Amino acid sequence: MQADIIGTFNATLSELAAHASHATLHRRSALIDLVERGEAGLFGVFGGQGVPWLAELRNLVLTYPFVTAIISQVQATLQRAISTLRAAEYFPYSLDILGMLYSV
């Protein structure tokens, strides 16, 4: 229930932002401000292996739509690392994180 409310709130803000010209729709996160100034750090914690952590990550993506852009950047970085390290034998079908999230 709480995730649905937060997800709806964020989706509404995203939709409003797409149509607003110069209005400030919401106050910036104090945590994000601290991170941008280098006074705090962010990291994700996903417990375990297999589908439970994937479902947890999927919930984050559905609740906070901006997480999709972060995952896309991480995926691109991992893909470059895989090709650079010639680790394709470990990921023969590529590493499609977003694809995995939406197939759960």
* Domain enclosing residue 7, as ranges: 1-42
Q: How many Å apart are CA 74 and CA 3, to the nearest integer? A: 23
User: Under a CB-based contact definition with an 8 Å cutoff, are residues 57 and 70 in contact?
Assistant: no
Give 25-63 pLDDT, tens digit per residue. 556 778 888 888 999 887 766 555 556 777 888 888 888
Do 95 and 66 reside in the same domain of the chain? yes
Based on the fold, state whether residues 27 and 56 are members of the same structural domain.
Answer: no
Structurally, how many domains does the chain consist of?
A: 2
Q: What would the mean pLDDT of 90-103 be, rounded to a whole number?
A: 76
- Contact between residue 104 and residue 51 where contact means Cβ atoms under 8 Å apart: yes
CA 24/CA 44 separation, integer angstroms? 28
- Structure pTM? 0.49
Which residues are CB-contacts of 22 (< 8 A; sequence separation ≥ 6)?
none
Q: Is the pLDDT of residue 1 over 70?
A: no
Which pLDDT score, from 0 to 100, does residue 24 have? 55
